[in-house]
Amino acid sequence: MASKKKPAIHLFANEQFPRRLWIVKDAPYSWVKERFKGINGNEITEYTKDEAKAVTYPEIQYLQSKEYGILIVILDNQMSVADCAHEAGHFVLSLYQAIGEDVSVNHQETFCYLLGYATDCLNQVIKNRYRPMFDGSQEL
């Protein structure tokens, strides 16, 4: 009998950012809601695999550490690079909102760096191939 994959939380903890990035895959909603809640204390909104390939929660608290961050739940392990970039865009816009910064053509470099960073993090989780990172990133 084939064993079912165990859900995992992948923390990408770049200390330059005021929010953590958590990426979860192979996790049912019930498992995720036991570990995360909205910054406002509300339960996170339920998702289904029929709705999208991933869902991004912009204002989240990880209950174990009490840290704030942005959570991306992968619903389809066959996400393309374009799909990863789409969810990474949600991450970057959520991060900009958290720091009170507007997206502007006058400072594109930071936005583009963050978009590439988050896309790469998602791709590592999708492919299950991780590069050594020196920023505290880990599987929880």
Cα–Cα distance between 3 and 80 in angstroms, integer?
A: 25
Half-sphere exposure at residue 139, Cβ-oriented, CA atoms within 13 angstroms: 12
From the centroid of its chain, how far is CA 7? Answer: 14
Each of the 140 residues of the chain gets a pLDDT tens digit; together they read 444 678 889 998 777 778 899 999 989 999 999 999 999 999 999 887 787 899 999 999 999 999 999 999 999 999 999 999 999 999 999 999 988 888 989 989 989 999 999 999 999 999 988 776 655 566 66
pTM over 0.75: yes
* Domain ranges for the chain: 13-128
AA letter at 68: Y
